[in-house]
Amino acid sequence: MVKKVNNPALINRFQEIDQLQEIKQNHVIALMAAFIKQYKFEELVKT
């Protein structure tokens, strides 16, 4: 199931990223994945 993105700023950024070359898109995706992984780890350690 795909959830709808409701944040206009995120939608705008995703549209901008979609216009980048594929290699640049992959870099952004990797950065996002690293950020989310770090956030989840920090949340896990907090509890």
Instruction: Give residue 24's Cα distance to chain centre.
Output: 13
Q: Give the pLDDT band (50/70/90) at residue 1.
A: confident
Q: Give the pLDDT band (50/70/90) at residue 3.
A: confident
Q: What is the pTM of this model?
A: 0.79
- 11 and 5 Cβ atoms separated by less than 8 Å: yes
Burial-class residue 17 by CB neighbours within 10 Å (0-12, 13-18, 19+). Answer: middle
Q: Give the pLDDT band (50/70/90) at residue 47.
A: low
